[in-house]
Amino acid sequence: MRVRHLAACAFAPVLVAGPLPAGAAGAADGVSQFSFGKADRSQALAYWTPERIRKADSAANEGATPRGQHPWKGPEMKTVGRLFFVNDKGEDTWCTATSVSARNRSVALTAAHCVQVPASPGNHHVSMVFVPGYHKGARPYGTYAVRAVTMPRSWEQDAKTDVAALVLDTHKGRRLADAVGAQQVAFPGRPAGRVTVFGYPDSRPEQGEQLVSCDAVAKAGAGHTQSVACGVAGGASGGPWLAHFDARTGKGTVAGLTSFGDTATNSRTTSAELLGPAAERVYERAQGL
């Protein structure tokens, strides 16, 4: 049973920022899509100031970082970063996202609940930006406005298949993958086996400011999911499960995206969708935008 999706606990600003995105579009491939206009994207970049991020971080507190999660001490994981957005309640919050290999070199993967309220067509989050390699306030590779989002129509209509792809603007003329590289991604439709799970939890002491990781073995979960014996906190949603991970290079293959924990707090397991044909169609659509 799905207990709780894991966007960070949120800070509600005095002003609700951001116009609504352009209308969603669907197609016979079962993929829904929505986009943000140029003015929306400029507003999002201006909105996420260092002070606003600090306020969102300070409002987040889900207790101590769950068991098994440790601050990442290896090479810089510049492909992984924080996805900031304003949710449907007008609150400032974040998830985790990952740059992945794509024909347009401008795609990151995250969880669908980080971009769209489940089973609520048209109810999208706004003011979305991706900050790859975020670490303790530093944005070493800049801030990328989200230009378009693709996700399964089953998520928009029935809260099924918690996977989404982000199509990003350039930053200072550079596409995302050209600036930070990209992880490979696979869609086998089965549990990934041994993985390293990454995310930016809102638990203490990190409070979103530092990337954490957990090594585990992904096994079959309930329904079309896979699970690992890693605790998880809000803000880690959308974080990659990297199979065949090489800690020396920071490279692997995305084989899952954090979706939910088994309890409201102090979870002992973390679950993700099995990446199969539905997720692959979402990814393929994003590559062509």
Confidence (pLDDT) at 186: 98
More confident residue, 90 or 158: 90
Cβ contacts of 203 within 8 Å, gap of 6 or more: 60, 61, 62, 63, 64, 65, 66, 233, 234
**Is 34 in contact with 24 (CB distance < 8 Å)?**
yes
**Is 239 in contact with 231 (CB distance < 8 Å)?**
no
**Is 166 in contact with 216 (CB distance < 8 Å)?**
no
Do 192 and 122 reside in the same domain of the chain? no
Distances (CA, A) of 197 to 43, 70, 72, 171: 32, 10, 10, 27
Do 229 and 214 reside in the same domain of the chain? yes
Do 174 and 241 reside in the same domain of the chain? no
Whether 13 is covered by a domain: the verdict is: yes
Do 137 and 258 reside in the same domain of the chain? no
Do 53 and 18 reside in the same domain of the chain? yes
Whether 70 is covered by a domain: the verdict is: no
> Which CATH number is 260's domain given?
2.40.10.10
pLDDT tens digits for 1-35? 334 455 665 544 333 333 345 545 556 789 999 99
Whether 71 is covered by a domain: the verdict is: no
Do 20 and 117 reside in the same domain of the chain? yes
Q: What's the predicted TM-score (pTM) here?
A: 0.91
Confidence (pLDDT) at 5: 57
**Position 166 confidence tier, pLDDT thresholds 50, 70, 90:** very high
Q: Cis bond leading into 205, ω under 30°?
A: yes
Do 27 and 109 reside in the same domain of the chain? yes
The SS3 call for residue 212 is strand
DSSP state of 140: T
Whether 269 is covered by a domain: the verdict is: yes
pLDDT tens digits for 199-256? 999 988 888 999 999 999 999 999 999 999 998 888 999 999 999 999 999 999 999 9
How many domains does the chain contain in total? 2
Whether 223 is covered by a domain: the verdict is: yes
Containing structural domain, residue 264: 185-273
Do 211 and 108 reside in the same domain of the chain? no
Q: What is the mean pLDDT of residues 89-103?
A: 97
